[in-house]
Every structure is written in structure tokens, then in C-alpha cells.
Chain A
């Protein structure tokens, strides 16, 4: 009896799922000249964003980017889980020498410059090539330089996970605010402003800054974990 009910329920569910999919009508063009023209026109006219890649990644396919950020978070967590035990058994890092005094004093000046470049890249993500992922990676390379140069340089894992979580919550929270203002998740609800200005594009720069913080914190954590694993 139980099995029959399960089969009936599954059948109903399957029927309605298939019904919904048949209604979509695959293979028919929904836009007259393909979707690329819609993206290219709306990027400049509606969103006031100069970089089309950014507008596609953050606005038109913003939900996809949220998924990517989640994948990165899961990968970092899994890596930390795998390497955590071995790190505590050994308790030392795999880079045994500290660098020479030339590199040590040189990296003191290079580190702020690298961080500045990373911040520039993710703040100007909607104006110039680059964006949150690229800027975050540049910031992580700055921390890699410091970790390779100084023998006892360490990053605070509490701060890293705090930054990471707050940035992720802010991304999802901006998406939920779209429900209140526009009606859909990750709706661009702020006024777009003027094309080519720093404050333009509505929520796109805010989301990309959050992505930059998140990626930077996560990759720094990855580098720290891998360097302190006994190879």
C-alpha cells in the first residue's frame, strides 16, 4: 500500500514537472536577434555600466555568481578540513628559510602597493577590466609575498572567516533586498547613475566589492593552509 502511494505521488510530481518543461518551448527564439544584443544594449542604456562582462556576471547572471562564490567557499572549507589535522601534528611550515634582507625590506613597500592594486581592480570592476574575483586574487598574492618573505608571519583566521562570512551575507542580503524593491532576487534596485562614473551601475559595484573581499579572504586562507602543511 505504501509503495503504491509513493508511486502515485512520484508519478504526479513527474507529470507536472514534465508538463512545466514542455510549456517552455525549447528551440524557439525568445529574443528576435539572439540574447547577445539584449545584453549589449541593456548594459549601456539601462544599467549604465561600461564593462559588459561585469554586467553579465553580476547582474544578468548574478544568481550564477552567487553559486560560484558558494562553490569557492565549499572548496576552501574542504581543503581546511583535509589539511587541519596534519598541520597540528607537525606544527611547522614547509618554507624553512626566511628570505634575505633585500627581499624582506623590499616586500614592506611592495605589500601595500599590491593591496592597493587589488582594491583598485575590484572597486573599478564595472568601469575597467577586472572585478571582484581578480582583485581578490591580487590581494591574496600580496599575502603570499608576506608569507614567503617572513618566517613567522601569520594571518588571523578569525578575522579571515569573519570577513568571508560578512561578505557572503552581504551578497545574499543585497539579493534579498531586491525582493522588497523590485520583485526578483538580485534585482538592481538602486538608480544606475551616469555612465563611466565611479558611483554608477546600481548594486553592481557593491556586489563586486563584496565578492572581492570574500575571494581575497578565502584565497589567503588557502595559501596559509597549504604553506603550513608538511609536504
Chain B
């Protein structure tokens, strides 16, 4: 990257800090609720920049092993399930769907109760 510091994650962190420390207590209740959503969105973006590629590649690697095709993506997997070309009782398929779901939620909302329960 040719860009100077702070990097994108550090910039997002600064914005989040500003919202939390300076703005949060100044806004009326109905906007405080929306402000929390804004903070959540910034955190999603930050996690996706940091971990997104790794978590995505993990799933794609397993997916390509399962269906033995080295260009396959999520769309292909969805189609194979839809057309029942995969055995729906296959444990490797179930494991893959679990991993896909875990990796997605760990970016979108790692505090989500079901995810926390499953990684404990």
C-alpha cells in the first residue's frame, strides 16, 4: 500500500472513539439507538479488513476439497445443494456449512449468543 498512517483500521478506530467519547452522551435516546448501530457497522468494516480474507479463504479451501473442483465458490455450493447433487446427510457438508456460518458471524457479530455458545 502506498498510503500513509493511520491505516484504514486505525482511522475507523479513531472515528469510533470520537463517537463513543464525545457524541454518545449528547444525542437524544432515539438517536443513541442509531448511534450504536453506526458503531457496530464501523466494527464490522474493521474486522472485515483485518480478518476477512483469511476467514473467507478457509471456507473456500474446504469447499473446493469437498466438491473436488478448484474454482468452486459459494454460489456453486448453493446450487449443488439446491439441485440435491450433494448428499445432504454427508457430515463433511454439514461441517462446511457450520464453518461457513461461524466464519461469517465472527466478522458480522462475534458477540452473537449462538456463536459464543458454540466456541466455548
Report whether chain A binds chain B. Answer: no
B residues lining the A interface (CB < 8 Å): none
